[in-house]
Chains A and B, each alone.
Chain A
Amino acid sequence: MQIATYAWLIALIPLMGAILLGLLGKKVNGKSAAAIGSASVLASFVLALLIFFSINSSTQKSFDIHLFNWIHSGSLSVPFNFLLDPLSSIMLLVITGVGFLIHVYSYGYMKDDEGIQRFFAYLNLFIFFMLLLVLGDNYAVMFTGWEGVGLCSYLLIGFWFKNTNYNNAAKKAFIMNRIGDLGFILGVFLIYNTFGSISYDKVFAAAAGFSSGSSIMVAITLLLFVGAMGKSAQIPLYTWLPDAMAGPTPVSALIHAATMVTAGVYMIARSNVLYVLAPFTLSVITLIGVCTALFAATIALTQNDIKKVLAYSTVSQLGFMFAALGAGAFASGVFHLVTHAFFKALLFLAAGSVIHAMSGEQDIRRMGGLRKLLPITYPVFLIGTIAISGIPPFAGFFSKDEILAHVYACSPILYVLLMVASVLTSFYMFRLLFLTFFGNYRGTKEHMHHMHESPSVMTIPLMVLALLSVLGGFIGLPEAWGANHWLNGFLAPVFEQSSGRVNALELSHTTELTLMAFALAGAFIGLAIAYSKYIAKNQVPAEDNNQPEGLYQLSYNKYYVDELYDKVIVKPLHKISESAIAFLEKNVISRSVDSFGRITLNGSRLSRNLQTGYIGFYIFFMVMAILLILLFNRI
């Protein structure tokens, strides 16, 4: 395959873009910065397309491209290699494709921001690290990308760094991710310790010799999963993602919906060989995935900030993906990752368009009736809502249905919980839609006056994403329909080694079709409740100081999880560190450090005093030294 040799360009071009933009800074105007940023991602996208087609048509499914030896020390050898296979090529398409659309959109969104050059430099840098993450053929390169995207996420959440709240949100995201990253890197160390290598092919080949359920496998997979929890915002490390909405909306769409947060899903799908050897970890993942899906969905029910609703919805949808991974349905997890990237990016960008039109207002209680005023944003938002709610033939239906079927095969109880989450999804999404676009306008006159549909540089990406949200599901038509599930077949080589170890979907076609009917019914139930509440009865959520009591209050305040963390973890930590300062710092550390300093200082004086400047003394000292050396060696 000729094109594979140019794979390094895919990653390099965005990096060059980032460096160029970073170096040029304000020397280019916003338009050129946007052009440079978008063009570099577009070039990567074209290359990704070429690679995708050649992999699709070639019989060899995996290409290892050696770029250079990165670290070579003792028995540790880390090559800087790229791995091109069906999984990475799909990820490449999603990252560069959706990434490109978001770059284009960003120009319209950020046009008047004075930091637009910096913004595009960060975005390009993010794309570079994300590509590194999915392209690496070993855990070290993946970790580099993993940390890099975390950094870019931090930089972009705190993009408007003059606002202290935004900075705090950025710090929160960074620290939460660090907790996960610690688990991830410990997992990588354990992998190296166990297998003597961190290259995927060597590790996976060696893993075949381990028995299923061995404790070392459980330890490795659990540690890696901790990393995934942090990056992909699963319970208990999810609280950073809603706060991350402080960043510009395109960032939320690109990083906190479509790509970075799905890194955990990619990582687990990539390590599928290890995970199938640890059934315990798989059940943990399913459980956490289902709980996250349900938990986040209940919070999303009562939120009034348009981006917050979408953020919790992202957490919830990521829970769906993890539920699929835990059930051993890696391909279904990746499938949902792809469709989710389409419709969630669409929803975020459309929400961005609404916010743009409302001059920065994000509270849906101040919106309403925007349907007529935003003739393009409204239909695309509607498409996104239908897609995420799981109504056929839109993308979300197929992928979500597959996950539900796999979870059902695993455990009917979890299926019911996930089903509830799915109904809630449909409800809160339509609630969002109705409150934003239907009913009467509830905002200020001032905002009404400035109301306008977004420019075409923003609406065209929206339309493309809407098209993808409609058609995206057809890459994985259910086999129960007698159709050919293309994605499963395409990804099969990646999951070949583990396919024998997980239970294949053994549901009869009738059961599957029944489950689909349930899912569809659930979606419509959610829709119906939302309709009756917000269209028929024309309700509007209460103001902050007038909230209903009970469960509503609990959900509205996000179950007080942030406060809980503050009480249980942050405050005790503060207490401990205060007492540590009082005792350890003053008595132990200060003293030992001081004495180290004192020794150094005395040594310095000695060294300086020896340096008399008299050459006679120097030579005398030299001869003495030679004499001592000779005597010392007993000559």
Chain B
Amino acid sequence: MNALLILSALGIFALLTDILGLKKILFPASIVALIGAMVASGLEWGHHTSYFNGMMCTDNTAILYTELLLFAGLMWFLICGSSIREHQTEHYAILSFALAGAVVMVTFSNLVMLFLGIEILSISMYIMAGSQKDKYSSNEAALKYFLMGSFSTGFLLFGIALIYGCTGSFFTSGIAAAIQQPMTLPHGMLLAGVLLILTSLVFKIAGFPFHFWAPDVYQGAPDTITAFMASVVKIAATAAFFRLFSMAFGSMVQEWSFTLCLIAIGSMMIGNMGAVLQDNLKRMLAFSSVAHAGYMLIAIITLNKFSEAALLFYITAYTLATLASFAIIIRVGQENGNGDVSSLAGLGKRNPLAAATMTIAMLSLAGIPPLSGFFAKYFLFNAALQENYTWLVLAAVAGTLISVYYYFRVIHSMLILKGSEEKISNSPIQIIVMLVLSALLILLGIMPDLLLSRIGS
């Protein structure tokens, strides 16, 4: 709740800076506000407070996801804040509001709140994807994202309506309670509602077969916005997915888990295989994000006591690595901007720190020990094996094997291929961001318990 208030206030403040002539302090103010929001949200730890008649609930998991969102937001502002020149105030305002929407998505306990959160985040993203007005690709990305997104929103609303029709409640607890008495419910309608919500959430996390928007939008949108989508949107959508399906539909897991299994396997296969042949970095990362959505779905399928912690760990590892790689992509994109894997050639010589960070990020995404990505996969697979999903894990491992190819291609390009000799310099902020992100990627790999012990305590 504290985070939500601070983020909304930050957004409104950002809108006012143009009038008040405070544009100079906007960047530092945003950083301070985000750090303040992290602290303020941390203060709610352990209280398990429910706000406004149970509309949202800051339990410990929600706080951890909020902190993760705020951290991702903070890193994003540090990476991209200075490179946004046009429409600075609007960018800051919309992205603060988007973060607020994301926070709503991870703390909701009422479907209306979930819907509002998703819409705030999505609409911000539609707008931001098209923020480079003079670029054809940006406009195309915005329109594609908007059209398909509204389509999936339609299904979400339809699903919510069906669920409300069956159970008579918008509250996750009320729905869960109603599902406990299956005799009184129209079963087909309930299942249809659950499946419609499921499809629209799979769309939001870009899982197969609703992933088509991701490669086109990731590639077309400005680099900075893609970074935001790949981190904040992914966290919020996955966390909301898990929250809704564990809190409301947990007791009918048997009925939707197999569908989700097929979606997960499809995402892992299509995502990983799709990334193999891509030359554009952002497009490759988009396919990789489809694959990672598949991995994260494993946690939602298993839904046991390990999977909550495993999912949080996975998302954290994924976010850190993604932010790190986008920090480098954005930096390199400013120098020579075709955005291909080959544009990284010779980075090892041109900017060793960036190359090292990118290498760590890629290794972590591929799940190479001792980086956090390895333990993330390990915990996730472990949770799945507890529920005897051996074949699901086998598919995931096969997908991981494929993924090594394209992640290593990036490393190969940076460290082995010869490119331009011109040095790329780092600003102090960029150095800090790269160091912090790579340190966290290594630290969580060496001491995963730092994060894991927080959940389930």
Residues of A bordering B, CB below 8 Å: 68-74, 80, 596, 600-601, 603-608, 610-611, 613, 615, 618-619, 621-622, 625-626, 629-630, 632-633, 635
Contact = CB atoms under 8 A, between A and B. Distances in A.
23 contacts: A68-B450, A69-B447, A69-B453, A70-B449, A80-B447, A600-B276, A600-B405, A603-B270, A604-B274, A607-B271, A607-B287, A615-B147, A615-B148, A622-B199, A622-B203, A622-B212, A625-B209, A626-B196, A630-B195, A632-B259, A633-B259, A635-B188, A635-B191
A622 to B, nearest CB: 6
Contact of A615 (B144, B199, B274, B277): B144
Contact of B277 (A72, A605, A625): A605
B147 A619 contact: yes
Contacts of B209: 621-622, 625
A604 B147 contact: no
A192 to B, nearest CB: 16
A310 B129 CA distance: 71
A80 B155 CA distance: 49
Contacts of B405: 600
Contact of B276 (A69, A73, A604): A604
B400 to A, nearest CB: 12
Interface residues of B, number: 47
B213 A72 contact: no
B148 A622 contact: yes
B391 interface: no
Contacts of B378: 73
Contacts, number: 101
Interface in B273-330: 273-274, 276-278, 287, 306
Contact of A618 (B212, B306, B453): B212
B27 to A, nearest CB: 30
Contacts of B269: 603
A611 B212 contact: yes
A615 B146 CA distance: 11
B259 A618 contact: no
B216 interface: yes
Interface SS majority for chain A: helix
B189 to A, nearest CB: 8
A629 B212 contact: no
B274 A630 contact: no
B151 interface: yes
A632 B262 CA distance: 11
Contacts of A633: 191, 195, 255-256, 259
Contacts of A619: 147-148, 151
B192 A610 contact: no
B210 interface: yes
B215 interface: yes
A594 to B, nearest CB: 14
Contacts of B277: 601, 604-605, 607-608
B255 A625 contact: no
Contact of A73 (B148, B151, B379): B379
A629 B448 contact: no
A72 B448 CA distance: 8
Given A68-B450, A69-B449, A626-B155, A611 B215 contact: yes
Interface in B209-223: 209-210, 212-213, 215-216
B273 A606 contact: yes
Given A68-B447, A70-B449, A626-B155, A635 B192 contact: yes
Nearest to A602: B273
A626 B447 CA distance: 42
Contacts of A608: 274, 277-278
Contacts of B167: none
B446 to A, nearest CB: 8
Contacts of B155: 626
Nearest to A625: B209
Contact of A71 (B144, B256, B278, B449): B449
Nearest to B210: A622
Contacts of A600: 273, 276, 402, 405
A70 B447 CA distance: 5
